[in-house]
Amino acid sequence: MKEQESLDAGNRNKRRDFVLMQGSACVYHRRMDDMTRDHGQQPLVELMERWGLSGHQLVETSEEQLNHKQVQRARKGRQLTLHLMQKVTRAVNDAIFKSLPEKKRADFVPYLHRHLFNYAKGFDASWSDPNEALWPK
């Protein structure tokens, strides 16, 4: 009897790893592990430090509804949707553009989401920043 109980307990633990998906058929799919959603510190953090930007500045300059929680999640490396990655990227570009003197604005090359997030499709670790000459000293 105890063997059966331990087998049932083992099966219950295995079932926690799967989620019943809604649909016409009962299909179990493996849950996404929390570790796969956390990608560590992102290139975004280094870029913000180089340009002297804070998370609050991104929220203030964003014309879209970007909030502090979203910026913090982006900086920590939590996996974001493509839409949110692009929204953060636009906010970074806007904040940098507004901080530049008018003479240097024409030389600014906007960043893409693949430059700010190491889990984005097309990310290249060896990419060099074309705006290096514009960085504040």
Q: What is the pLDDT of residues 22-68, one digit of tens each?
A: 555 555 544 545 557 889 999 999 999 999 999 999 999 999 999 99
Residues 93-137 have pLDDT tens digits of: 999 999 999 999 999 999 999 999 999 999 999 999 999 999 998
Based on the domain organization, do 23 and 76 belong to the same domain? no
Write out the residue range of the structural domain in which residue 27 sits: 2-34
Whole-angstrom Cα distance, residue 45 to residue 53?
A: 9
Residues 55 and 91 in one domain: yes
- Percent composition of the chain: helix, strand, coil (DSSP 3-state, to 5): 50, 5, 40
Do 58 and 118 fall within a single domain? yes
Q: Output the pLDDT for position 28.
A: 52
The answer on 100 and 55 residing in a single domain is yes
Query: Domain of 115: which CATH number?
Result: 1.10.260
Asked, for residue 108, whether it belongs to a domain, the answer is yes
102 vs 17, higher pLDDT: 102
What is the number of domains present in the chain?
2
What is the C-alpha radius of gyration for the chain, rounded to an integer number of angstroms?
Answer: 22
Q: Determine, yes or no, domain membership for 133.
A: no
Q: Do 101 and 73 belong to one domain? A: yes
Whether 135 is covered by a domain: the verdict is no
Q: Same domain, yes or no, for 54 and 115?
A: yes
Q: Show Cβ contacts of residue 45 under 8 Å, excluding neighbours closer than 6 positions.
A: 75
